[in-house]
Every structure is written in structure tokens, then in C-alpha cells.
Structure 1
Amino acid sequence: MVEDVNDNPPQLNAVSYEGSLGEDSLPGTPVLITPRIEVTDLDSYPGSSWELRLLGSASALFAMNASTGSVYFRGGHLDRESIAAYGLLIQAIDDGNLTTYANLTIKLEDVNDNYPIFRKSNEIPQYATKIADNDIGSRGKSIRDRDFTNSDGSTQIIIPESLSVGSKVTQVVADDKDVGLFADIRYLIESQTSYHHGGNSSAVPQVTSTNTFSLEPKSGNLVVAGKLLPDHLYVLNISAIDGGGLSTMTVVSVNVYDVNDHAPQFLLPVYYFDILEGSYLVGEVGGVTAVDLDLGENSKIMYQIVVNESPLTETFPFRIGETSGMILATGQVDREMQSRYQFSVIATDGGEPPLSTSVEVHISVSDSNDHDPIFYGYQTIYSGSERFKNYSLPVYQITVPENLPKGTIITKVFANDSDSMTSGNGIVLYKIEEPNSPFGIDSKNGSIFTAMDLDYETSSSLRATVVAIDVGTPTRSASALLDVTVTDVREDLADRLFDVEQYVVQVKENSEVPVPLLNLSGSFARLSEQGMHFLLADTRYEDLVSVDTESGQVYLIKSLDREEQHEYKFKSRTQQMRDVEAFSASTLQLNEVWVVIKVLDENDNPPRFNNDGRPLVGAVLSDAIFGHEIFTIEATDPDAGPHGAVRFTMLQSGPADLARHKFAVDSLTGRVSLNCGPC
């Protein structure tokens, strides 16, 4: 029998092994090894044995069961991104110190323990050539000199407003130290807002949500998805999300600068101005205004006058404010030498290159304002002197009762200006000179009304200064006095003062005025006892009739035309001189009476043919018989009754008077017929 000796080392079943372990494993976690570690020893003697040992620098992290070969994680820091695999040596040793070795590589399996990290971006879009001159930097600075990543890691891009939809703005890129699915990154815009900075640092920005940009999720390309607004800063919060759900956010700021793509536009297609003739050192004529939809320097406008496409001459009497657009008269403007000027104004913006547009300007030279307004219809004239100068003022005298409601019209003044209405020199406006006057005036029609309550006991006589002022340049004015006598109010009447409610009178049209119409003093004795007087109640007819306050005689003061108006109806009244009663167009008071004027017709209008002066042409066949109608002549007369009845007759046309033998006209109908036949 041969006794065995220890002459064979233990044998491992492989020369190398691979193990795997999750990088987030806890101590005691077994390492999965392929193939399974197995040991054989050909020696066989009593007491023979072997064991497995783990050798290498990483053996402190791992432990091996000496008999089974199972490997466990002892504990410690594992990070696949720092050390992806550990190399160890497996030693099989028997009791005689015979050994065999095999390699063991333990690879760490990735777990999603790293967030995506955005790269610093220095990409410069090809269209980004300049930085706007507001919050970004000085105008004209090369954008290629700018670091597009801010100190906080956010990215700022500067683009023009003209960038079209679909254009790439930039690309965001993030890295993930993990591998596989955990390193597969998708990009997403979490939010995007914008605000208009406009170069005004003191203004509070108005932040609004927007969808102006879109982001390709795989490539990270940021593209334009909507209209870009100039001088707007767009702030985008962008996330990078890996396959395991970990995400990182960065901020991309897109600053849109203005492009000079709008020419200035004038507010009007043509400008018309008027100027008063005269000699001007510097006088404003009027302003032209152009607007530019661009921003910043691109929107700043300079104005220039061009006459017949040539620069201005020294004798040309107009200049323009370069920045204001105000046209100035700077010389002699003589209407008799030249009544109209026509030239062009060019508006040029401050862009690079500049854009411009032009507009025509027409200036009409008007006559000077050399006439004062003149008052008419006043009752008397007041003469006086001041500072050795004599003057006279027209005086309007009126009597009103103290119980007039505020706002009641008491009279009307009229002033005429002989200057031109077209230029405004002849347009007259009215005002009351005294600031706290009890009277007001309609600035356009001169109607004077009560501005406060009147009180006979406080003041029975009031005075105000009425100023008529034209709208010429410079203005000219005239003044008149308003003398108002305030009367005490008596109690209401108990019965009607007049014998009738209505008087009817007839007047021929075209009568020479004044014409006495009627006398209202039928109850004069009674009225005199009561201190009553007569007046016209309806002031609308002041230019038509006049009433003598003492006698009650009503006069027609304006010649009438029946064809214009055939009847007039107005009210007259009696009252105490200190009383004024409010006028009512419909209600007849106890102290009032209707007066109706019926206009009688006169034959003051000739008949007029209805053919507007054109000859009437008729045709007659040679075989037409006697009485054949050729045509009918029509004529009208606006007069009434017999004066308006038209008769027709045929005038003699020559010595032979052949027409009267061959033709006849019906005197009533105007029917022209053949007077022979066949002729």
C-alpha cells in the first residue's frame, strides 16, 4: 500500500472569476461570483486540509469564507463613478503550504446616485452679432466678447428680434456620471417668463408667462416657437432629467435686442398749417410727428426740411426742430408775396443703417387780425376817460325780477368781427370780465344768464362787463356794459289782464318797416295803476318785432317774406318793471297774450319755367292734322292765390309771325298744338 504525501497543491476550478455588487450595498451583502468557486486537492491522507484566502489591496472591503469561497462585502465606501471594479487574488493553500492562485474582479453595479450636471455653455449663435445698448452693454460691442454663462451657472443668450420661428437659439447639455438608463437625459422647460426692461432701471418689471421658446427633449436644442418681442428678457427654467428620475435645473436667459426694421411713420399723410403774415424771429408754426416702432437708438428720430429736393436757402422763412419736429418761422412771411408754402419733412431714425420717410407740409399764410369786434343792439353808450384817454362803451340795459331761477337767460348780446371767419380772426367768443359776477354768458352765442340768485332788497341795480374777444393771433377784443335793474316780485295775478288770449293781425309781405301791428293797451288804465309795462315775452323774436314798454304798441321791425314763412306766433306780456318772469313756450300766463301775424301774399315772384332755361324741342310730322299736341310747357309761381296762377301766351317772333299762325298754346294748361293741318 502506497501512502499519500502532500505533493499536489489545491486546484481552483477557474483561473479568473468575476463578481458583481451594487455600489449601494450594505455590509454583509454577498458578492455574486461567476463561476462558482470550487477547490479540489488530489492529495488524500489523514489530516489533509485546505482553505481559501482573499488577497489584494481591496481585501479590506471584502471577506471570503475559507471553506466555501463565498465573498461578502465587509463595509466601507463604494462609488462606481470613482472605482468601477476591484481586482483581488484568490489563494487556495493546503496544510503543507502548497498554493494555487486565481484572479477575482468585482465589478460595481451602477445605481442612480448622480444628478445630471449642466455643462458651461460658450456656444455663440451665428446671428448674434451685437449687444443692445440698455441692460446688456454698450451698443456695437461684439457679442463674441461676452461670456454666455453667468457666475451662478445660468446661461444668458442675446438674440435679435428678427429671428424666425424654428431658429436655434442655443443648446443645453448636461452630463450624468451614471451609466445606461441612469445616464439617459431628457430636457424639459419647466417655466418661461418674460419682462420688458426697456432700459428703464427704475421701472418695476411686469413679469408675464410666455411660450415663446421650445426645447427638443433629446438634443437640448432651444428653438424659437413664437414672436420675439424686442427689449424683452426671457427667463427659462430648464430641467435635465435622467432615466432614474433624478433632475437638475438651470436658468437660461434670452435677451432680445431691437433690430432697426421699422422706418419712421408720420401720424398724418399730409400736414396743413396756417401762419399769420409778419416778421418772425422765432415763431412756432406747428409740429409734425413721426413714430418709430423700433426701440432705443433705432427709435430716435431726426427731422429735416427739404424744398424741391434741395437743402434750405437762407431766405426760406421756415426751419424745423431736429428732434422736436416743430416747424418754426424765422424770417419775413409776406402773404402778398407768397400765400402758400409747400415742402417736405424727412424723418430719419438712429438705426444702423438709418431708415427714413418723408411727408408733405402745406403752410397757408393768413391775413393779420386788424379788426376789433363791434357790439350791436345795445340801448345806449357810456362815455368816460381814463389816463387822459377818452373812451365809450355800449350799454345793454335790461330789467329782471328778483325771483329768476339760476341759469335763466335774460338777454343776448351780439358782436361782429369784420376779419375772416376762415382764419379765426372773425370768430367771436364772449366772457364776463368780473370773476364773481352774478351773471354768466354762453361763450359762443352771447346769451347772458343768471349765475346766482338775485335779491332786490340787497341790490336793485347790477352791472357787469361783457368782453367780446376774437380767436385771432394776437386776439383783439371789445367791451360793453350790462346794466341790469332788479325788480321786486309782486304776488301772482288773480285774473287775466288782457281781454283776449290771442290777437291776430295781417301784414303784407315786403312791407317797409317799422310797421305798427297792434296796441296792447286795451287794459292800459288798469295796468298803469298797477305800474305795469309791456314787453316781448319770447326773446327769440326780438329781431322780428318790438314792443313799446310804455304804450304797448307792437311794431314789425323786419320785412317778411310769405314764401319763407306765412305765419308767426309769439307771446307778449305785461309786468312790473322790476319783475322778470320765466318764459314758457307752451303755457300762457295770466299777464300774457298770444300775437299771431299772418303774412299776406304779394305778387313778388315771377313765374318760372320748369325746364331750367333749356329750350323745348318738339317734332311734327308733315301730315299732322290741326290740334295735334306737340308738347306741354310747365311753369310754377311760388305766390299764393291769383298771384300764383300762371297763364301762357305766345309772343310775336317776327314780322311775318308765322309761328302764331302754325302753332297755338293753351293759356291755362300750356299745351302747345298745331294750329293748321296739314300745314
Structure 2
Amino acid sequence: MFTWPKGLLQLVLLHTAWKMGSGQLHYSVLEESQRGTFVGRIAQDLGLEVSDLVPRMFGMLSKGEKDYFEVNMQNGILFVDSRIDREELCAKNADCVVHLEVIVEKPLRFFHVEVEIKDINDNAPIFSEREQILSISELVTSSTQFPLKGASDADIGTNALLAYKLSPNNHFILDSGADEDESKSVVLVLKIPLDREESPVHHLVLTATDGGEPKLSGTVQLVIHVLDVNDNPPIFNQSLYRIKLLENTASGTLVINLNATDLDKGINREISYFFSDNLPFLFTKIFSINSDTGEIRVIGKLDYEDTKFYELQIVAEDKGSSPLSGHCKVLIEVLDMNDNIPEVSLNSLSVPLPEDSTPGTVIAIISASDKDSGTSGQVNSFLWPTGLPFKLESTFKNYYSLIVVAPLDREQVAEYRIVVTVQDQGVPPLSSSISLLVPISDINDNAPAFTQPSYTVFVKENNPPGAHIFTVSASDPDVAENALITYWIDEKLWPLSSYISVHSESGKLYALQPLDYEELKLLEFQVRAKDAGLPSLCGNVTVQVFVMDENDNAPAVSGSSEDNLILLVVPVMPGHIVGKIHALDADSGYNAWLSYELVEESSVPWVVGRYSGEVSTKYSLDETEEGKIQSVLVLVKDHGKPELSATATLGVSLVTSAHAIKTDIHLPRSGESFMPLVDSINIYLIIAICSVSSLFLLAILIYMALRCHCKAKETMVYGPGTATLVCANEVGSWSYSNRHSHILAGVSSEAGVKSDLMIFSPNVPVFANSGDLRNGTEMPPDSAKEVSFLVLAFLTFIQNHISMVSV
């Protein structure tokens, strides 16, 4: 027969068991069968041809440590190969089976064979001692019982069923009936009282015979010494005591106080109590007996889970010269109590848990057990803290599944610490817990979000190319690549690549070229932020870039005064207006607010209006000044930082008659910057002044009424999202050029010329004139300054009209 290597065959069996299925045969054979004993026709029973056993590499392996069987490869018969001792193989087990594994190849098949080993009566009863010695007083009455040590048989069933027989005698018989506790015992019963004078020693033979075929037996010598004088043994008030004790009963607790009586007197009635020699040694570690009082106490630990029942055999012996003894049994039943904490263990845990896990997803498998019995061994489980999106669900006995019951959001809770507690139903209940950490893994479910819906940025013009002007920042509550943000400018609405760029990682905005307020006032665009998740999510924000004016344009005087000569008829009174200087500044705001002054004011008879540009006489001029041409040099400055300026020259000549003016003066050309005045005022000038003054007063009254009404209704608040009024904080006027300016935004808009009043709505805090941030704080306008500004503005307007009318 081909012999498979044991290790290889085990691997092949494991591999093919699930793949090929298995067959099963059952044989039986008697133990101690001789080598070669026929067991079965295994090849035929497995449906194999005998001629195929060798080619198909028939092999057999025993699961035990020893090979008891062999297969004849010539005829396919299974036979006994070595001696089989059922008692050595299976001890007292009723079922004794040897498992064989059979495998053949081409095609590969696997079979399981069981051979039952049947018991034969090959073991004789054995006594633990060769001789048992008894001492019996001659005065012991009939029917007195003396327990004997029985025999044991290694066989099972009827082969181990023992019957006892006593050698023939006149005094003793055997009683092998059942006690109250239904345990078999051998009791020697005195039939006829003994007489020491007749026979001081009796030698008997006790024979134990089993129920097998053929019957086997064993013997023990009984040596009975007959004692004199002390003829009454101690007697217990009952032969069997039943006691119930709770487990974990405290050491020193009294179990029972035994009481035996002896009818003798003196020392012959004094009794000592002790455990029988048949008592297992372990019991003496749990219980103790007081030899004088008969008290049995607990000295060890009672554990229901270890031992539920104790049988104590007690001997009461008197102290006579020939001591007599009495016997009883104490049966102690241990009652279970809730003294074992439930055990909980984690069998499996699937973490991290995706935040999009659906309700019903199983996270962990948990098992629980309790060694107690009854309700003390039944457990309940629950979770802490309450309100978690999880629950425990019982799958089968003592196993629970931790499952998801509600949607998860990692951005709200990144991980859960769960305490699983199991509690039994005992009194008082006991519990144990395990702690689980369930981290939640991220999915890309949050789009990048900016801190505010829009940004307003103020950038001074003439910035260097590539200057960093602002940084936009978006946040994404996701993690890892789901929170990795890139930025870009959305140019679908308006191409801005030549003006602004954004760094894709930092969100920094750069001005790619110098900005010119006179050409471009506003850039409005959208910055988009996209994360790196799959799929990626986007967010956007609107950015408004306001270009702030700098004083980069000097005032320009329109026309030239050097070729123009103003003739005045003398005498001239002080305060007489000679002409007016007109200048323009391409800047705006304070940078375009112009003021006028004379270069050498102390040495000339002229004065110039600081904000009007009107040149007038400082004192009277008479004929002594006639014929002299005087040059008036006027300096025009803006209010920027640093200040920029320009100069204008006005020529004045005095004549003695108006006829000379008519013949010599030439009219100013178109575009010149001054308006010559005549000495006489006609009626049209008076009418014009009255009309303009009336209109001015009416406008002032209407304006004050509207201001009071608006002030009562609401106040202007500076801050994000509110209108901001931009104007001068000093009395004066602004002069602007007619240069074309525009705004780049989401839609194109027609650019207009600059006006003296501009209102816009920025989305960032606005700085007040003092430079302090006034965000969300009421700043009521200075009514006195506004009125003064309007008054001077209207006076300037009147003077302009007077000049025009005078011409």
C-alpha cells in the first residue's frame, strides 16, 4: 500500500475537503483483536476497484497518535494492524471511535472512515487494598453495618457491573443495596453477634465479580478483630443529612453540628468525629470537622461553577479501649449566586468608518458571557453615551452586532468613543464594559467656502507690476486631498488676465500692471476655489478692486495769458475784479482740489481769490499808474501729498479813457483762461445777480429741509454693504479734466466724466478722515461744514456768472 507523508496528506485533506466533498464508512471491531483481524471491505464499500488502489495512490491516515489499522492493497480489506486497548484509548468513555482519513487520486477523492472499538471483558475488578481490617466488639448487636471499600473495573457497561460475594461464615452477610443517595456501596452486616472467646479473629474473603462474559473477579481479605468490653458504637440521630449552602460562603461558617450518642459509660461513650478515609483530599481543603463537638465548618472557597455537590462521609468513634464507630453522610448542595461578572469581548471591528455609511452597516461583532446560572447568567447589553448614531442588535445567543442607525458627518463628529456595557440579571446585577474608538473617515461632501460673500479691495494707482494687493482665503472642513484648495479667476464674464492674477495655492491676488485711476476705477471679478476631492467641489467669491487716486497730475492752466492784455480805465477802486484764472487737474478728490495765490503778494497791488482764481485790486489805482503794463504771476496748487503746482501770468495796463479800450482791446480767443471786465455795470448785471441770489437762497432752504427730514428718518452708517459718501472736508472746489475713465466689471459700463460728488458701496470697512476705522458706527455728517461748502460753492457760481455778465 502506498503510504502518504503525514504532513503532505494533512494539507491535501484540508485543501480537498471542501472541494471534493467526503464519503463516510462506519465499522466496528472488538478491542484486543489479533493483528490481521478482518474489519471491512473498504475498497468495495467505497466503490473503488481493487486494481485501481495502487495506480490511484490509495492512502490512509489515522487521526490518532498510533496506526491501529492497515489496508491490504491486493484485496482492499481493512484489517487490524496492532493491538487495541479500549481502556487505554478511551478510558471510561462509552463511545470509543478511531477516525481514519482515506484519499485517492485521479480523480482526487476524500473519504472519512470511523471504526468503533467495542469493549470486551478484559479487566477484572480490582480492590484498592489487598487487606481490609475491621475491629468489631463482641457486644455489637445483630444487623450492625460496616461499610467496606468497594472494587473498581476499568471496563464499561455490563462488563463493569460488579456483584459482591462473601466467603461462607456464620456471622456476616453482605448488603449491596442502594442507599438513599442511590450510590452503590458494600456493607458488611453482622448476622449473629460475635464471641471473642470463641473466635477472636475472623478471616473472610470478599469477591467482586463483573457482569461480562466470561466473568472476571477480584478479591480482598477481610480481617475482623473481635473486641471486648466496649460493646456499643456511637449512633447518629440520622444516617443522611442534606445541607444547602450559598457559594462564596464566608470561611468559618457553621455547616452543621453533628450529634452521635453512645450507650456506654465513661470513656467508652466519649466520641471523636472525623472524616472517613474515603473522602477526597480536596474536600478536606473546603470543610473541617471538630473532633470533639462534631461541628462542620467551611474553611475554603465554595464555588458553584467548580463543584455543585459535596458528599461528606463522617465517622463517629468512641474512646473505649476497643473503639467503636458510627457512620453518617452529609450531602451539601452548593447554591449559585451572582458572583461572576459578565465577560465581554470584541470579535471584530471595521474602522475607520466612512461618513457616508448607510444605516444598517455593521461596525463590530461583540460577544458576552456569564459563568453564573439561571437569571444570574442572562445578560443584557447597552451603549453609552446615549443618543449615538449606533445601536446594538442581538444576532444569536450572546453575540451582538454594532450597527449604524443614523447618518454620520465627520465635520460634526470626527470620532466616537463608545462604551459597550453588559449586565446580568442577578441580584445585585453585575456588569462589565469595553471601550471602542470609532474614527470617521472623510468623504468630499463640503465645497470650499469663503469667509464672506464678497471682498472690496482698495489699491493705490501706479502700483509696481506684480504687486500683491490682497489675499482671498477659502476653507474646507474636509481633510487631506478633500480640503486641498486651488484658486483661479473666472474669466467667463470678462477677460482680466492682463490686469489681475491669483496664486493657485495661496490665494494671493497680484496686479500684473500699474493701475491708473484716471483710466480704470473698478475691477470686479470672481475668484473660484476648488478642492482636490473626487468629485471635486467648488466655491466662488466676488472681488471688487477699487483703484485709489494718487496726486500724480499737476494742475494745468487752460490757455495762455501772456499774449492777452487787460486794459483798465483809471481810477480803479479797491476790490475791482480784473479777471479769473481757470485751471484743471486730471486727478480727483483732494488731489484735484485747487487753490490760487500770488507769487509775490506783498509788492503788487493785486490779490487773488484762494479758491475762485479771481484777480482783483488790493488798493486804488490812479493816473500815475497809467501806461504801465503789470504782470500778475498766479501759483495754482492742488491739495495732494506731495503738492503739485503750475503758474499763470496775467498782463494788466491802465488807460485814461474808455475810448482807448474800445480801439485797443482785442477780444479773447476761444479757450483763453480769463474774462476781462469793464468798468461800467449795466442793468443786466443787477438783474443777473438778483436772480442768482434768489435761486441760491431757495436752494439753501430746500436743502436744509431735506437734510432735517432725512436725518430724522435714518443716519448714514459706514461699513460693509452701506453707501459711502466721498467728498472734501474743507471748503473748496474740485476741478477735473475731461479725460476718459471706465470700470472693468462683470458687464461693461459707459464711463462718464468726473463729478464733484461720488457715491459707491464698498464691502470693506471705510476709513474716516482721521484715519480711524469706523465699521458699523454712526458718523453723522457735519451740517455746518456742508452748509459752508454749499454757500461758498454758490458764491463761486455767482461770481462766475457775474464775470460772464460783465463781459
* TM-score (normalised: structure 2): 0.34
* Structure that is richer in helix per residue: 2
